[in-house]
């Protein structure tokens, strides 16, 4: 079942003293958890973002892991379809 459409106005649930500069300095995993706690994203989206963050970190640092074209395409499609498009901007 598809979640109901979300809006970016959910970000208004963050404390008013929170500035974008402070949020930009947070570790990505902490920011994802804060967005979940503020109901900006659903738990399903949090899981997707946590998984993608792990893949991104593995890909960004020297390792023997090979990322195929298929995996890269799946990565992008999953984020677009399940994280970006459900927001009504």
DSSP 51: H
Instruction: Write the pLDDT tens digit of every residue in 55-77.
Output: 999 999 888 989 999 999 999 99
* Band (19; pLDDT cuts 50, 70, 90): confident
Averaged pLDDT for residues 22-26: 84
Predicted TM-score (pTM) of the model is 0.73
The H-assigned helical ranges of the chain are: 20-25, 28-37, 43-60, 69-79
Query: How many domains is the chain partitioned into structurally?
Result: 1
84 within a domain of the structure (yes/no): yes
Q: What pLDDT, on the 0 to 100 scale, is given for residue 8?
A: 47
Q: What pLDDT, on the 0 to 100 scale, is given for residue 9?
A: 47
Question: Residue 37: helix, strand or coil by DSSP?
Answer: helix
45 within a domain of the structure (yes/no): yes
Here the tokens at position 17 are 């003293």
9 within a domain of the structure (yes/no): no
Report which of residues 45 and 65 the model is more confident about: 45
Query: Could you tell me the residue range of the domain that residue 77 belongs to?
Result: 19-88
């Amino acid at each position: 079942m598809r979640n109901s459409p979300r809006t970016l106005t959910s970000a208004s649930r963050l404390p008013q003293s929170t500035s974008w500069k402070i949020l930009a300095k947070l570790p990505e995993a902490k920011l994802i958890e804060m967005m979940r706690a503020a109901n900006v994203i659903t738990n399903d989206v949090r899981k997707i973002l946590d998984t993608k963050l792990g893949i991104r970190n593995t890909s960004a640092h020297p390792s023997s892991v090979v990322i195929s074209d298929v995996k890269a395409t799946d990565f992008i499609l999953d984020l677009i379809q399940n994280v970006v498009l459900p927001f009504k901007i």
